[in-house]
């Protein structure tokens, strides 16, 4: 393929659902083209009818089309040697990706449904979720969740943690392994270039601003 094509609903033009994909493709030196679908076009229904689950994002890899954000991350992981060295590592990476997804869903619920009333409670309870990732990272001792190099689960966790640092800049202060992980990932040359780019900086973190 010449490059990936990523199509997504206007609301996903954020650092959210597509954020981990962008960071992973940047780190892997891949080119991609983004196609933003605005709300009016989406409501016409023609594009929605072509989507397997009536949802975006959609990744096009040559003539191959894929939906569901974590399925897309897994596909990128297989394509770019970011899915572990064997079946057991792959299973652990799947497990960690699902754990990140649980945290992401809690975050999204708070942001879109409970921000005014639930933000303080969410931040107070956050250590009870982050400590699980801290324990895994500390035990592995490589600076990554599984194995000795980034997997697609690492990119997903990294993106979620970046969002949480905006929500609460001190949220990783008591989690040295996670704090080091974010610093390490942020310093990877291609990720650093991407995070410093205007294309990244102009993205809102969430669709509600």
Report pLDDT digits (tens) over 46-63.
777 777 666 767 788 878
Express each pLDDT in 165-206 by its tens digit: 999 999 999 999 999 999 999 999 999 999 999 888 877 665
Pairing of β 58-61 and β 64-67: antiparallel
Count of residues making up the chain: 209
Residue 208 pLDDT > 50, yes or no? no
Q: For residue 14, what pLDDT band results from cuts at 50, 70 and 90?
A: very low
In angstroms, what is the C-alpha Rg of the chain?
17
Q: Where are the alpha helices (DSSP H) in 12-85?
A: 19-27, 39-43, 46-50, 69-79
The pLDDT value recorded for residue 13 is 38
3-state SS assignment for residue 39: helix
Residue 109 pLDDT > 50, yes or no? yes
Q: For residue 19, what pLDDT band results from cuts at 50, 70 and 90?
A: confident
Alpha carbon distances (Å) from 89 to 20, 124, 145, 146, 153:
20, 32, 10, 7, 11
Express each pLDDT in 71-88 by its tens digit: 999 999 999 999 999 999
Long-range interactions of 30-35: CB distance < 8 A, separation 24+: 30/3, 30/4, 30/80, 31/2, 31/3, 31/4, 32/3, 32/4, 32/5, 32/6, 33/3, 33/4, 33/5, 33/6, 34/6, 34/7, 34/8, 35/5, 35/6, 35/7, 35/8
Q: Look up residue 144 and give its two tokens.
A: 């990554």
């Amino acid at each position: 393929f010449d490059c990936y094509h990523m199509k997504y609903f206007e609301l996903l033009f954020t650092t959210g659902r597509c954020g981990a994909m962008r960071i992973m493709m940047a780190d892997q030196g891949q080119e991609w083209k983004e196609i933003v679908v605005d709300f009016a076009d989406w409501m016409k229904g023609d594009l929605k009818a072509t989507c397997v689950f009536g949802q975006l994002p959609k990744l096009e890899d040559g003539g191959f089309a894929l939906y569901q954000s974590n399925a897309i991350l897994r596909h990128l992981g297989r394509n770019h040697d970011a899915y572990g060295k064997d079946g057991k590592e792959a299973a652990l990476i799947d497990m960690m990706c699902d754990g990140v997804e649980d945290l992401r869903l809690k975050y999204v619920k708070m942001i879109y449904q409970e921000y005014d009333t639930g933000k303080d409670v969410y931040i107070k309870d956050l250590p009870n979720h982050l400590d699980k990732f801290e324990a895994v990272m500390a035990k592995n001792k490589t600076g990554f969740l599984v194995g000795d190099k980034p997997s697609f689960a690492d990119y997903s966790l990294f993106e979620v943690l970046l969002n949480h640092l905006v929500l609460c800049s001190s949220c990783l202060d008591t989690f040295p392994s996670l704090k080091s992980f974010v610093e390490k990932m942020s310093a990877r040359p291609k990720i650093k270039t991407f995070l410093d780019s205007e294309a990244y900086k102009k993205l809102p973190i969430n669709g509600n601003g």
